[in-house]
Amino acid sequence: MEKHTKKAILVVSFGTSVNETREKTIDRIEADIRNANPDAAIYRAWTSKMIIRKLKERDGVTIHTVKEAMEAMIQDGIRELIVQPTHIINGIENDLMKEDVLAYAGHFDSIRFGTPLLTSTDDIENAIHAFMEDWKGLPENEVLVLMGHGTTHYANTAYAALDYTFKDLGYSNVVIGTVEAYPSVPSILRSLDALHPEKVHLAPFMIVAGDHATNDMAGEEEDSWKNQFEAAGYPVECHLKGLGEYPGIRKIFLKHIEESK
């Protein structure tokens, strides 16, 4: 048997077709993981086959699916594996990713999973502190609305816990919404009506500031969040910065890798 067992960390992201935000977010998370774990090989996989296909056709860039990454690691002789998702919650993408990984369990001596960003109560508090580093100067008469992705999975309750914890930590003028689940725009507008802000700031609560942030949040379509809030009478400023750009958020993923060891 080899003296040094071959170790790897597989970083699994949903992915993005917006190269500019990928460089600032997913690439930075992977670089931090590489720097913190010099004894491990770092591999990348994305879960969105649509985005993988788009990058292949548009840019000629090949990104592995989880299954392809598992097969590559087997070929490379990896024996000990940690899988760290950059997912926000323990939702559908995370469940399917685990199934794909565990189908190859017989080829490894050990497989461990780091947890998504918002898993424990501590995670939620740490994520809020990391995020609000940028928003220390938010005036009391202005509101920050955060756009999460949202899911039909029961893990969507993490967004309610996040919203509650923001308030509990004293950020009464921060409101959470989601694109594809609850709370949706009508709920957010009710919160804004109660707060009467002079201005609304919109920011994504997603790893990347990709398609959802540029189109669903800040786009020119009538049903974008920006235009819906402006139609309700609020001046709106959009901030296109993904969570992966925040050093404190990246540290949470590093912590989750350490906790999985």
Beta bridge mates, 204: 147
CA distances (Å), 242 to each of 49, 106, 236, in order?
21, 36, 18
CA–CA gap between residue 124 and residue 87 (Å, rounded):
14
Pairing of strands 41-46, 7-13: parallel
**149 classed as catalytic:** yes
Alpha carbon dihedral 40, 258, 67, 249, in 10-degree steps, equals: -110
- Given a contact cutoff of 8 angstroms between Cβ atoms, the answer to whether 257 and 82 are in contact is yes
Which ranges of 81-184 would DSSP assign to H, the alpha helix? 92-102, 121-132, 157-168
Q: Which of 149, 201, 212, 256 is catalytic?
A: 149
30, 60, 134 from 243: Cα distances, Å: 14, 27, 11
Residues in the chain: 261
Please state, in angstroms and rounded to a whole number, the distance separating the CA atoms of residues 203 and 176.
10
**Token pair in block for residue 63:** 């990104």
Which residues participate in catalysis according to the annotation? 149
